[in-house]
Structure 1
Amino acid sequence: MNKSLFLSAFKTTAPVLFGYIPMGMAFGILFNELGFHWLYATLMSTVIYAGAGQFMAVGLLANHAGFMEVAITTLLLNSRHLFYGISLINKFKSHWLRKFYLIFGLTDETYSLLTGTIAPEDKEQTDFYLLITALNHSYWVIGSTLGAILGANMSFNTTGLGFTLPALFTVLAIEQYKSVRESWPFVMASVVAFLSIWVFSRDNMLLMSILLSIIALLFLRLKQKPTEASQQESV
C-alpha cells in the first residue's frame, strides 16, 4: 500500500471527515449525558459503528428499553444495508478478513463513496476500498471520543448540529452525479423520496423509499431487456 493511494483515499473521504467529526462529537456529548464514562462512547463507535443507530440507542438507553425492543428497532433502522450489500457483491471479492471489515464498515456515506469512486489502479482496488472504509471509521471514532471527553468537562449547545448529516449527504450526492453524469437516477430518487414522505409516515419513509426505488429500477431493467434483444436481432 503506497503513500499516493492513501492520499487519494484521504482526499476522497474529506467530505465525510467534515461531517463525521461534528456528528460524532454530537453523539459523544449526548451519550455522556446518560452518565457513562467517555470510554464507552469510544468503544460503542469502534465496535458497533452505526451513526443513526447510535443516536437511536441514546434515546433507548435513556428510556431503559428492553433487549428485544433495542434489537428489533435497530434491525428495522439498518435494514437498508441489506440492499447496499446486494449491490456490492461483485466489489467485495477480497480475502474473507478484508471482506468482513468492508461489510462491517459499510455506512451510508461509505457506500456512496465506494459506488461513486474509481480506484487509481485496478490492482489496488481492494486496498483503496479498505482505506476509504477505515478512514471513515476512524473519523467517527475520533469525533465520538472528542465529544464524550468534552461533554464530560464542559457544557455545549448542540443546536444546529443535526443539519450536518443532511449537508454531508448533499455533498456526496453531488459527487455521485459528477461520477455518473446522468440525471435520471437523481430525478427518480427525488420523486420516490417526496412520494414516500407524502404517503408513508416518517418512521417508515426510509425503508419504503428504498423498496420503491428497487421496484422502479427492476421495472426499468425489465423494460430495457426487450429493447436490447431487438437490437441484437437487428445486428
Structure 2
Amino acid sequence: MKKTICYAFVQSLPILCGYLFLGMAFGLLLQKAGYNFIWAFFISLTVYAGSGQFLLISFLSGSVSWFNMAFMTFMLNSRHIFYGLSFIERFQAMGKAYPYMIFSLTDETYSVLCSLKVPDGIDEKKASFFIALFDHCYWILGGILGTIAGELIPFDTTGVDFAMTALFVVIFIEQWLESKNHIPVWIGGISSVGCLCIFGADNFILPSLIVTVSLLLMVKKQMIETGGEQLEC
C-alpha cells in the first residue's frame, strides 16, 4: 500500500502545481466576493469543478440567475460525459470507489489516468483512486490558501489561470512522446480548430468532442486491424 501511495503521489505532482495556483485564484476571487476559507473548503469539497466554481462566484454575488447558472454549468461540464464513458468499465471494477471516481474525474485527473502505465508491484485500481484523491486535496488546499491570502495581503490574479493551460501543454507533450499512434491527436486537433471557427470560443467544446468521438469510433476498428493502439482514452 505504501508503495502504491508513493507512486500515486509522484504521478499527481504535475497536478499539484496547477491546482494550487488555480485553486488559489478561485479562493482569492471568492474572498473578494465576501466569503471566507470555510466556504472555499466546502465548495471545493462538494462542487469540485474549476470553471463551475468560478461561475458559482458570480451566482453567489447575485449577478447570474438560477436558469443561466444551470445552463452554463451544463455547457461548461458536458465534456465530462465523454470522459466518464471511456472509463466506466474501469471504474465499475473498483467497487466501492466507483461513485467517488466518477465525481473526481476532472480534466487533469482524466489526462493522468489516460497515460498511466503502472509498474509491477503497484495496484492500478488503488493507484488510480489515490491519484484522484490527491488531486482533489490539492484543489481544496489551493482554495483555502487563496481565501486566506486574500484576507492578509493584496494580490493581483491576472494571468494565474494560465497555470492550467501550461499544465495541459506538458501533459500533451508527454503523451505525444510516449504514444506511437498520433492519429487521435490529429483528429482531435483538426476537429477542435474547425468547431472553434464555426461555433466560436464560447461554444466549440461540446461540438468538437462529438465530432472527435464520432471520427475515432469510425477509425477505431481500422486502427486495431492495422496494428495501431486501441483507443481507450
TM-score (norm. length: structure 2): 0.90
Tell me how far apart the structure 1 counterparts of residues 117 and 221 of structure 2 sit (CA, whole Å). Answer: 28
Which shows bigger deviation, 5-14 or 67-76?
A: 67-76
Corresponding residue for residue 206 of structure 1 = 205
Corresponding residue for residue 27 of structure 2 = 28
Q: 1:181/1:222 Cα in 2 relative to 1: closer, same or farther (>3 Å)?
A: closer
Corresponding residue pairs, total: 226
**Identity value in percent:** 35
What displacement does 1:80 show? 0.8
Tell me how far apart the structure 1 counterparts of residues 13 and 221 of structure 2 sit (CA, whole Å). Answer: 38
What displacement does 1:140 show? 0.4
Corresponding residue for residue 78 of structure 2 = 79
Give 4+ residue runs of structure 1 displaced > 4 Å after superposition.
222-225
What displacement does 1:24 show? 0.4
What is the SS of the residue equivalent to 1:161?
coil
Structure 1: 5+ residue stretches without partners: 229-235
What is the SS of the residue equivalent to 1:36?
coil
TM-score (norm. length: structure 1): 0.89
Structure 2: 5+ residue stretches without partners: 227-233
Tell me how far apart the structure 1 counterparts of residues 128 and 170 of structure 2 sit (CA, whole Å). Answer: 19
Tell me how far apart the structure 1 counterparts of residues 220 and 101 of structure 2 sit (CA, whole Å). Answer: 28
Tell me how far apart the structure 2 counterparts of residues 96 and 8 of structure 1 sit (CA, whole Å). Answer: 21
Cα pair 2:49 2:106 within 8 Å, conserved: yes
Corresponding residue for residue 217 of structure 2 = 218
**1:55 maps to 2:54:** yes
Q: 1:14/1:128 Cα in 2 relative to 1: closer, same or farther (>3 Å)?
A: same
| Residues 143-169 of structure 1: CA deviation (Å, up to 9, x unaligned) | 110001111222101112121111011
Which shows bigger deviation, 64-73 or 111-120?
A: 64-73
More helix by share: 1
**Corresponding letter in the other structure for 2:153:** M
Corresponding residue for residue 64 of structure 1 = 63
Q: 1:42/1:195 Cα in 2 relative to 1: closer, same or farther (>3 Å)?
A: same
Corresponding residue for residue 231 of structure 2 = none
What is the SS of the residue equivalent to 1:202?
coil
Corresponding residue for residue 112 of structure 1 = 111
Tell me how far apart the structure 1 counterparts of residues 95 and 62 of structure 2 sit (CA, whole Å). Answer: 38
Matched ranges for 1:165-204 at <5 A? 165-204=164-203
**Corresponding letter in the other structure for 1:183:** H
Tell me how far apart the structure 1 counterparts of residues 121 and 88 of structure 2 sit (CA, whole Å). Answer: 17
Tell me how far apart the structure 1 counterparts of residues 175 and 130 of structure 2 sit (CA, whole Å). Answer: 19
**1:153 maps to 2:152:** yes
Corresponding residue for residue 99 of structure 1 = 98
Which shows bigger deviation, 6-15 or 99-108?
A: 6-15
